[in-house]
Amino acid sequence: MTSDQKMYFNDLWKYNLSWPADVNAEVLLYPNPATDHITLKWDQAAPRHLFVYNIRSQRVIETGLLDWEERIEVRGLSPGLYRFLITEDGRYTAVSVVIK
C-alpha cells in the first residue's frame, strides 16, 4: 500500500433496528464513507421512509423506500457527516454516514 492510498475498515455496516423481536428489521448500509451513493438492504421489501440531515439539522434528502434494496444518490451532497433517519411503521433508527 502506498502512502496516498487509504484503507477503510468500516465500509460495510449492518444495523439492527430497535424494534420488537418478532419484526425482522435489520438493515445493511454501505459504503460508509461514501462518495456517490449509499445502498440500503433489508431481508424483505416494505414501505419505509428516509430522511437525510446535514450537520446543521437541515433536511437534504427525503424519499420513500419500497424495495428490499435501495440505492440513494449522495453525489450532490457536500463532504461531511450526515444523519440517515429511516422510518417504518411508526418506528425509526438513525445512522451516521460520512460523505467524502
- Show me where the domains of the chain are located: 13-99
DSSP string across 21-81: TTS--EEEEE-SSBSSEEEEE-SS---EEEEEE-TTS-EEEEEEE-SSEEEEE-TTSPSEE
Residue with cell 421489501: 45
Convert the pLDDT of each residue in 67-91 to its tens digit. Answer: 999 999 999 999 999 999 999 888 8
**Which position has the higher pLDDT, 95 or 25?**
95
pLDDT tens digits for 12-29?
455 554 444 434 457 889
| 79 phi and psi angles, rounded to 5 deg | -60, 140
CB-count burial class (<10 Å; 0-12, 13-18, 19+) for 32: middle
Average pLDDT value for residue range 6-11: 42
For the 13-99 domain, the top CATH level (class) is mainly beta
